[in-house]
Structure 1
């Protein structure tokens, strides 16, 4: 990883770059965070310790503490109290809980070709009216009969951003609830989870955690959701809820928890701590500067990316077929819907962008 330390370093930038250099040492040009973020060194260390803990038969109490620390850390990043955050495993599972809460015949407004985890549970209900419109038409398409608007904040395929303020206003005007998937934005895109009825986020992309953790944010009154996936961890006193039906659900969003993947949360806790330590604003500025550098370089090569201003994801139509060639050259990007998708995060540098541009230009 080539960081440019030729210019004088001082203050916050020095802290940012030194922290990143201490945590990451990719062996290639990794521009694929929209698929998987890299694990920081502190998360790798924590995972090793969790495995040793289990292998040696020691008490797992620290791993359960990791779940609650990760929940609290994510809550701070999302701008909500930890009591509104449920810990699960996937966006699809969280979507399923929301889908199960809707009455028969309810209309769900979605974006065309959004990520499947945001859509499929609504379709599988079989008795809901699921309506899809182009992303940019979501706000104008909310109508009095709309029960729920469900959309990704940043589109997985091409990085386009939903107009969330306009969506929120339209939903409020027509009495619809809102459900936003922040999986492709959390870690670089500002999150105000309290502004929506429900949000879901996986943690293995820009939040730098292992696979197997996702958070659901719900209103204080739980927004009419029923914890249809509840198990023992959903009890107010989990260790007293192991046998027979849970008789007292957690008084917080923990009633929507799924059984915790303890190793995952062991690695996630320090990863989220790093995101907080670096600061979402600094990460955002870094990521977007690299994305803009790539967009400018593409213009010089005669390529026009999908318009997605303000996004850390850049998708280039017609170049997806070059993904294999780039991977062979040590540059990791994605082929999505025929587009070449590059995504930028804190461990990337201008040299990474320039290397991708050089290969694409040849």
Structure 2
């Protein structure tokens, strides 16, 4: 079996009506995911679903993400948004703590720190982030892949610099997980939104935390699921949080998680190597074609291709039935599981 065979087998799960190259904004939902969401919605409408959903689906999604992220399921907390996870980590820092972030980082990664008002937040160019870590740095918060232009951080260098200076690390995997091989256990914390390259419905997000770093997080959002025993801790104060990352679970959006279970299963079955090879191969073809047209894209081996200054062509592509985006002055084109060489060539034809 070739590495692309799983990609081809998964293609039947998708039915876009446009040339869809906009996964950096949101991912297409597989057929199996849509079916699961519809089934639960029908059960809710008919009054057949006790509790409005199943925690079995949440646990399956937790296992599915753990498989993709390379950690044990008990190191994964489930939630609804990256902002909430980052807010919890921001609340854990003492006044005066220093947080280092890349310039132009996505707002959800930096705002919970910047708006606290009593932290020292510094910024450095992404390619100089490792060199900007210093003995006074308490936390380095950054994305594996930048939202604005698809640049991939020098993950090993940042981890090494943080370790050398005793700083913790917070990695946002939202633009990476699902095509880029993550090693979530190599960071104190990771946060990942599920609705982009993980192909989950909105309302799914994942926090990973190492056993050592877990003790740093406060019980700020403790609720009835935080004890790790759903339906058994509904009334009165909790005596304690679950001893694993489940202690930071949020009450689940069941419709979203009933779908997420199936999206994550699909990605896990395709495999990280096949996803990476497919997405970056298409992106390389696109970069070469753009260069032939005289357009210089942001260099690198990323599934996200950005062309600075070409945002003015966004409307033309949309009118031609090509879904892309145009953040921060870039034309941004993202390749994923369901894309083909024909999709890439369609973009080049329109731009030519």
Secondary structure at the residue paired with 2:243? coil
Q: Is the CA contact 1:236–1:248 (under 8 Å) kept in the aligned structure 2?
A: no
Question: What TM-score do the two structures reach when normalised by structure 1?
Answer: 0.94
| 1:337/1:148 CA distance change after superposition, 3 Å | same
Note the aligned Cα RMSD (angstroms).
1.2
Distance between the aligned counterparts of 1:14 and 1:257, measured in 2? Answer: 36
Mapped contact 2:32–2:263 kept (Cα < 8 A): yes
Match for residue 30 of structure 2?
40
Q: Which residue of 1 aligns with 2:282?
A: 290
Whole-angstrom CA distance in 2 between matches of 1:73 and 1:81: 10
Instruction: Pick from 303, 306, 324 the counterpart of residue 298 of structure 2.
Output: 306
1:228-243 to structure 2, matched below 5 A, reads 228-243=220-235
The answer on 1:322 being equivalent to 2:313 is yes
Moved over 6 A (4+): none
The correspondence for 1:98, drawn from 89, 92, 113, is 89
User: Post-superposition shift, 1:248?
Assistant: 2.2
SS at match of 2:211: coil
Q: Contact between 2:4 and 2:278, CA under 8 Å: does it hold in 1? A: no
Give the drift of 1:56: 1.6
How far apart are residue 227 of structure 1 and its match?
A: 2.5
Task: Count residues with an aligned counterpart.
Answer: 350
Tell me how far 1:11 sits from its aligned partner: 5.2
Q: For the residues of structure 1 that align with 2:345 and 2:129, how far apart are their CA atoms?
A: 36
> Residue 115 of structure 2: SS of its match in structure 1?
helix
Please give the alpha-carbon distance, in whole angstroms, between the structure 1 residues aligned to 2:47 and 2:143.
42
Residues 101 and 124, structure 2, Cα contact 8 Å, conserved in 1: yes
Shift of 1:12: 5.2
1:182 Cα deviation after fit: 0.4
Does the CA-based 8 Å contact 1:92-1:118 persist in structure 2? yes
Gaps spanning 5+ residues in structure 2: where? none
3-state SS of paired residue (2:4): helix
Distance of 1:210 and 1:300 partners within structure 2: 37
- Note the alpha carbon deviations across 1:267-309, whole angstroms, 9 max, x for none: 10000000011111101111001100000001100010122x1
- Where does 1:21-60 land on structure 2 (aligned, <5 Å)? 22-60=12-50
Task: Report 1:221-232 matches (<5 A).
Answer: 221=212, 222-232=214-224
TM-score, length basis structure 2: 0.97
**Whole-angstrom distance in 1 between the partners of 2:44 and 2:290:** 49
Check 1:15–1:127 CA distance in 2 against 1; reply closer, same or farther (3 A cut): closer
- Which structure 1 segments of 5+ residues have no match? 1-9
User: Where does 1:193-208 land on structure 2 (aligned, <5 Å)?
Assistant: 193-208=184-199
1:223 CA drift (Å): 4.4
Alignment check: 8 A CA contact 1:188 1:284 kept: yes
1:272 is matched with: 264
**Equivalent residues in 2 for 1:6-25 (5 A)?**
13-20=4-11, 22-25=12-15
